[in-house]
């Protein structure tokens, strides 16, 4: 891996951390630079575009989120872990625009990618939360609750493996983890 690619991927990580801490302007700046530095039309560019879509969704800037999510999906078809998050972003955009059936199809495809990948993606909780919220919005409460039970168990199991109390608290306090666990508690799952 060349230095150029290494720095771009580090910018993606920094952008993700800034996004998670709510520093959207700085996150957007780092992620834009990363996207510019990564090879166009590559799976690597998909990562930066997905994170830019997440950043835009947090603002919320739906048009910008859609632009980045579409590019991330196009670029990420060969990179399964990144594709799940890109599809999740596009599902959220479609849900925000009132295109529920498209959102459900994309959320289902995102979950299929997530489940096909044996590893744990840094956007795992985001994809699962998106699936839950899309299916809740469509009135598919059974599907949403089934995934909510799985997601909350996975989060609790992952947290149990973290020995350092501050790191465990930080993991559980992250935006998507916190939302999943709160909803699971509210529904007694």
**pLDDT per position as a tens digit, 41-52:** 567 788 888 888
d(CA 55, CA 67): 12
Measured in whole angstroms, how far is the alpha carbon of residue 7 from the centre of its chain? Answer: 22
pLDDT above 70: residue 69: yes
pLDDT above 80: residue 184: yes
Phi-psi map region of 188: left, alpha, beta (phi>0 left; psi -120 to 50 alpha): left
pLDDT above 80: residue 106: yes
What percentage of the chain exceeds 90 in pLDDT?
A: 52
Query: What's the rounded mean pLDDT across residues 9-38?
Result: 83
Q: What is the mean pLDDT of the chain?
A: 88
Task: Output the CA–CA distances (angstroms, integers) from residue 3 to 36, 48, 81, 101, in the order listed.
Answer: 15, 17, 23, 43
- Do 34 and 15 meet the contact criterion of CB atoms below 8 Å apart? yes
d(CA 159, CA 178): 12
Write out pLDDT tens, residues 112-171. 998 887 666 778 899 999 999 999 999 999 999 999 999 999 999 999 999 999 999 998
Dihedral sign for Cα atoms in the order 43, 47, 52, 57 = positive
Contacts of residue 122, defined as CB under 8 A and 6 or more positions apart, other chains included, come to 16
pLDDT at position 128: 95
pLDDT at position 90: 96
The helices-and-strands tally (H runs, E runs) of the chain is 10, 0
| φ, ψ at 164 (rounded to 5°) | -75, 115
Which pTM was predicted?
0.87
Query: What's the rounded mean pLDDT across residues 52-63?
Result: 89
SS (H, E, C) 53-80: HHHHHHCCCHHHHHHHHHHHHHHHCCCH
Domain over 3-143 is classified CATH 1.25.40.10: yes
pLDDT at position 1: 54
- Do 143 and 152 meet the contact criterion of CB atoms below 8 Å apart? no
- Do 171 and 158 meet the contact criterion of CB atoms below 8 Å apart? yes
pLDDT above 80: residue 61: yes
């Amino acid at each position: 891996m060349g230095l150029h690619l290494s720095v771009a991927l580090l910018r993606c990580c920094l952008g993700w951390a800034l996004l998670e801490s709510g520093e959207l302007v700085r996150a957007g700046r780092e992620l834009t630079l990363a996207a510019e530095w990564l090879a166009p039309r590559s799976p690597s560019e998909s990562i930066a575009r997905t994170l830019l879509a997440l950043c835009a969704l947090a603002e919320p800037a739906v048009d910008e989120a859609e632009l980045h999510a579409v590019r991330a999906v196009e670029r990420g078809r060969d990179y399964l872990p990144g594709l799940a998050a890109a599809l999740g972003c596009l599902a959220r955009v479609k849900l925000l625009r009132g295109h529920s059936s498209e959102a459900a199809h994309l959320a289902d495809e995102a979950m299929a990618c997530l489940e096909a990948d044996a590893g744990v993606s840094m956007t795992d909780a985001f994809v699962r939360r998106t699936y839950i919220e899309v299916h809740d919005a469509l009135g598919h409460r059974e599907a949403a609750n089934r995934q909510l039970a799985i997601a909350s168990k996975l989060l609790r199991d992952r947290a149990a493996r973290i020995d350092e109390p501050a790191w465990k608290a930080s993991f559980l306090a992250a935006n998507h983890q916190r939302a999943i666990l709160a909803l699971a508690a509210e529904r007694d799952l």
